[in-house]
C-alpha cells in the first residue's frame, strides 16, 4: 500500500451536519464538547504522522491542528489548496509543527513564494485540482505512514470515491441542526448507486461524558 493509512475523524450532529450553517465555523458546534472528548480527539492526532484539512476549513475555522489536550508529538500539517489561496496569517503557519501546502500548476508562483517565506513546504500535485493519486504516495515516501483527515466534506468525498479511506471515527454531537445546504460529513456528487457505495463495519463504540463515539473500518 504505497499511501498512508487514512483515518477520517469528525464531530457530526445526529442529522449528519458539520456546522450550524454553510460557511459557519465548526468551532461553534465543537464548543459543546467536553475536555474529555477533546482528549479523545487529540489522542488520535498524537498517534498519526500527518493531519489534513482543506483550505476552506483553514479559512473558516483557522485551526492550529496541534496536540494540546494530551501528551504527544504534533503531526505534520497538510493542506490541499488548488490555487494556494490559504490565508497567510492562518494558525497553520505557526512554528509549533511543520506545514505542507499542496497545490497545483495553476497556483500563482508569487503566492507559492509567499508561503515558502512563512516556513511552509509546497508540493505541486496536479494540473488544476490537487491529485490525491500523486499526493498520497508522495506523503508516504516522506514518512507519513498514518494520516488523520479532519475535513472538510469535499476532501472526504474525494478520498471516499477513490477508495482511500481506511477508518472513520465519529464524535456524535447530541444535537440536530437541520438545513438542506448545511455541510455533511461527505460532500461531492455522491455515489448514486448501491453497487458503488462505501461500506463500513463498526469495530468499536463507547461513551465519553454522554457523547457517543463510534469507530468504523471500511470494508475492502
Q: Report the half-sphere exposure of 172 (CA within 13 A, side-chain side).
A: 13
Domains of the chain: 5-213 (3.40.430.10)
Report the pLDDT value the prediction gives residue 106, as an integer from 0 to 100.
Answer: 96
Report the pLDDT value the prediction gives residue 147, as an integer from 0 to 100.
Answer: 98
pLDDT tens for 62-74 read 999 999 999 999 9
With beta carbons less than 8 A apart as the criterion, state whether 148 and 5 touch.
no
Task: Name residue 76's beta-bridge partners.
Answer: 50
The torsion angle over the Cα atoms of residues 9, 15, 18 and 19, rounded to 10 degrees, is -160
pLDDT tens for 4-56 read 999 999 999 999 999 999 999 999 999 999 999 999 999 999 999 999 999 99
Q: Hey, how many other C-beta atoms are within 10 angstroms of the C-beta on 86?
A: 24
pLDDT tens for 117-174 read 999 999 999 999 999 999 999 999 999 999 999 988 999 999 999 999 999 999 999 9
Query: Smallest Cα–Cα separation from 153: which of 6, 14, 16, 3?
Result: 16
Q: In whole numbers, what is the pLDDT of the chain averaged over residues?
A: 96
With beta carbons less than 8 A apart as the criterion, state whether 187 and 9 touch.
no
Task: State pTM to two decimals.
Answer: 0.95
All cell numbers assigned to 144: 507519513
Segment (H or E) for 202: strand 200-208
Using alpha carbons, list the distances in angstroms from residue 150 to 41, 44, 65, 153.
Answer: 10, 11, 9, 9
Amino acid at each position: 500500500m504505497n499511501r498512508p493509512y487514512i483515518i477520517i475523524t469528525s464531530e457530526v450532529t445526529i442529522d449528519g451536519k458539520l456546522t450550524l450553517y454553510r460557511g459557519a465555523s465548526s468551532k461553534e458546534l465543537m464548543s459543546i464538547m467536553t475536555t474529555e472528548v477533546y482528549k479523545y480527539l487529540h489522542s488520535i492526532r498524537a498517534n498519526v504522522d500527518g493531519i489534513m484539512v482543506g483550505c476552506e476549513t483553514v479559512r473558516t475555522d483557522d485551526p492550529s491542528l496541534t496536540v494540546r489536550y494530551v501528551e504527544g508529538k504534533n503531526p505534520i500539517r497538510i493542506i490541499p489548496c488548488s490555487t494556494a489561496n490559504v490565508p497567510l496569517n492562518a494558525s497553520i503557519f505557526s512554528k509549533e509543527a511543520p506545514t505542507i501546502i499542496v497545490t497545483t500548476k495553476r497556483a500563482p508562483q508569487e503566492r507559492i513564494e509567499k508561503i515558502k517565506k512563512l516556513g511552509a513546504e509546497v508540493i505541486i500535485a496536479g494540473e488544476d485540482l490537487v491529485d490525491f493519486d500523486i499526493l498520497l504516495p508522495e506523503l508516504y515516501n516522506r514518512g507519513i505512514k498514518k494520516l488523520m483527515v479532519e475535513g472538510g466534506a469535499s476532501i472526504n468525498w474525494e478520498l471516499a470515491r477513490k477508495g482511500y479511506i481506511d477508518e472513520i471515527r465519529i464524535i456524535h454531537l447530541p444535537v440536530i441542526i437541520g438545513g438542506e445546504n448545511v455541510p455533511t460529513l461527505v460532500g461531492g456528487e455522491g455515489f448514486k448507486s448501491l453497487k458503488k457505495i462505501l461500506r463500513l463495519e463498526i469495530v468499536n463504540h463507547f461513551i465519553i461524558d454522554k457523547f457517543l463515539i463510534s469507530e468504523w473500518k471500511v470494508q475492502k
